[in-house]
Amino acid sequence: MVSGFGFLNNKLDMEPTIWYTMSMDLTGYFKTTVRKLVERTRGTNAWLSIGYQTYELIEKLAPSTPDDCISGFIAYSVSNDKRMKIKTSRFLGKKLKLNTGFISEKDLQHFTDQINENLFPKLTIELVTGSAIMDCYRDDIGGQSCMTGYDCEKVGMYSSNTSIYCLLTMYSGNSNARAMVIKLDNGSFLMDRVYSDSSYLEDQMFFHAQKQGWYYRTYTGAGDYQISLNGGQITDYSDMTVSNVKYEDGQVPYADTLTQYENCGDTLNILHEQANGCCDGILGDTDGYIIGGDYSTCEDCEERIPDDDMNYVDQRMICGDCYTKHCFYCNYCETSHYDDDGHHVESMSATVCLTCLSQHFYCCDDCGDYHTEGEVNFTDEGCVCCHCYDGNYFTCEQCETVTENAERKEGSDGELYCETCIEDHLDNDNDGAAIEHQERVARADIAGQAVMDFVHGWEHND
């Protein structure tokens, strides 16, 4: 027996006729089984009237157990060589057309129960408590959630309160299901949200809760906290309370149905949101701590840290120590970033994010450091910073291009020219000298002619 749950059976096994672990062709099985079931309930003549048509349907549908071995379902062929699965009862009624008035609903359900009992593995039901609850969460029984696998220690509160919490599990083939069973203050039991990878097992969990006379959460999805009893939804939630629940920080699980708590120091009183009791907070955190107070969990080191020492970086909340070790503040965009999203600019002795680096800085082709636009000189192929420019570059007087000193030429005018422009400069010097020479010759010719005219005039006067 399980502590605190004395009237419940700890384990129930139902042996199957057939055990399977992979998809199995059921064409022959259905031909034989359906014929026997019809003849047993309606007689041989009844089978003769539908037998040929039923055989054709079975051949066409090619039924088999599903590839995922989910109990209570039959796989069958559809168009384009695709296969689907459907509940056994619907396969018999809709696909084999046995519910067209020929077979009663009662007999059809009886057929379904017999086929499911023969085809599918045994259904094992277990109630576990204590550390076994944590083991089930570690093994992902019922499927993965925010507290399974490596996060199973967050359900430590369930394991510590053995007189209040018990885990109901079901197994069938490769499928399984789980739900917490909670002993309420009034002595009643509540089956919390069902987790399963099988709709068949979900149905079995609800059936088991109704059979035991438990309250149970109506829906398996998140966010709907409605509770039912004996198939009907309850309206009075005042009894949905659990008192004196022991807890430790880091071991408080996310709550699905009884979501509110009253903090009594070393214990919690837990209740439904419609129970109208005292509420200090919500059991809605997934890090194992109760929501409330001035502490949060660092998403890097996972430590509980005072809120005033927390920082938001890339939509993550991290503590001051992790921020100092792994983050920086960009003064350009005024935003915090992780170190791998930044670059240290030597000229500024500061780190800027890669986005701002690409938008506001230029990389010097010589030293490789980044500088603002006002600190660089642009070349034909890139840019150089002012420091590298002063020692290695000059600006051509004619084309105004930043050029390496190796191409530096001084013109006759004392200015600096690149190799291309110096030739033009020399050509211009030569052209100027030739013009000046021609002008001197022209002036000399004019002066000589004037002398000749004077001499001739003087001789004529004599």
Asked if 392 contacts 402 with a C-beta cutoff of 8 angstroms, the reply is no
How much is the pLDDT for 433?
A: 45
Cα distance between residue 256 and residue 193, in whole Å: 6
Cα distance between residue 333 and residue 358, in whole Å: 12
What is the band of 36 on the pLDDT scale with cuts at 50, 70, 90?
confident
Task: Say whether pLDDT at 372 is over 60.
Answer: yes
- Number of Cβ within 10 Å of residue 371's Cβ equals 22
| Tokens 């369930």 found at | 158
Mean pLDDT throughout 82-103? Answer: 86
Task: Say whether pLDDT at 135 is over 70.
Answer: yes
Task: Say whether pLDDT at 119 is over 70.
Answer: yes
How much is the pLDDT for 450?
A: 57
What is the band of 288 on the pLDDT scale with cuts at 50, 70, 90?
confident
| Tokens 């080191």 found at | 301
| Residue predicted with more confidence, 323 or 119 | 323
Give 317's strand partners: 312
Mean pLDDT throughout 393-400? Answer: 75
How much is the pLDDT for 23?
A: 60
Cα distance between residue 407 and residue 386, in whole Å: 19
The whole-chain average pLDDT of the chain stands at 81
- Number of Cβ within 10 Å of residue 11's Cβ equals 9
Q: What angle do CA 89, 205, 93 make, to 5 degrees?
A: 5
What is the band of 282 on the pLDDT scale with cuts at 50, 70, 90?
confident
Three-class DSSP category at 242: strand
Burial 118-154 (b: 16+ CB within 10 A, else e): ebbbebebbbbbbebbbebbbebbbeebebbeebbeb
Of 256, 270, 108, 109, which Cα lies nearest the Cα of 178?
A: 256
How much is the pLDDT for 384?
A: 83
- Number of Cβ within 10 Å of residue 40's Cβ equals 11
Task: Say whether pLDDT at 133 is over 60.
Answer: yes
| Residue predicted with more confidence, 82 or 15 | 82
Cα distance between residue 46 and residue 107, in whole Å: 14
How much is the pLDDT for 206?
A: 92
* H/E element, 430: helix 419-461
Cα distance between residue 459 and residue 462, in whole Å: 5
Cα distance between residue 72 and residue 198, in whole Å: 9
pLDDT in tens, 292-306: 556 677 888 877 777
Of 153, 147, 150, 151, which Cα lies nearest the Cα of 192?
A: 147
How much is the pLDDT for 157?
A: 96
| Tokens 């399963």 found at | 196
Mean pLDDT throughout 320-324? Answer: 92
Of 227, 241, 244, which Cα lies nearest the Cα of 272?
A: 241
Asked if 182 contacts 258 with a C-beta cutoff of 8 angstroms, the reply is yes
In Å, how far from its chain's centre is CA 365?
41
How much is the pLDDT for 405?
A: 66
What is the band of 186 on the pLDDT scale with cuts at 50, 70, 90?
very high
pLDDT in tens, 145-170: 889 999 999 999 999 999 999 999 99
In Å, how far from its chain's centre is CA 282?
24
Return the structure tokens found at 150: 């490596």
| Cα distances (Å, whole numbers) of residue 347 to 245, 362, 374 | 60, 12, 13
| Residue predicted with more confidence, 426 or 246 | 246
Mean pLDDT throughout 83-111? Answer: 85
| Residue predicted with more confidence, 332 or 187 | 187
| Residue predicted with more confidence, 373 or 381 | 373
Of 324, 349, 357, 321, which Cα lies nearest the Cα of 339?
A: 324
Phi-psi region of 4 (alpha: psi -120 to 50; beta: other; left: phi over 0): left
How much is the pLDDT for 296?
A: 74
pLDDT in tens, 429-450: 544 444 454 455 455 455 555 5
Sequence ranges of the domains in the chain: 17-119, 125-282
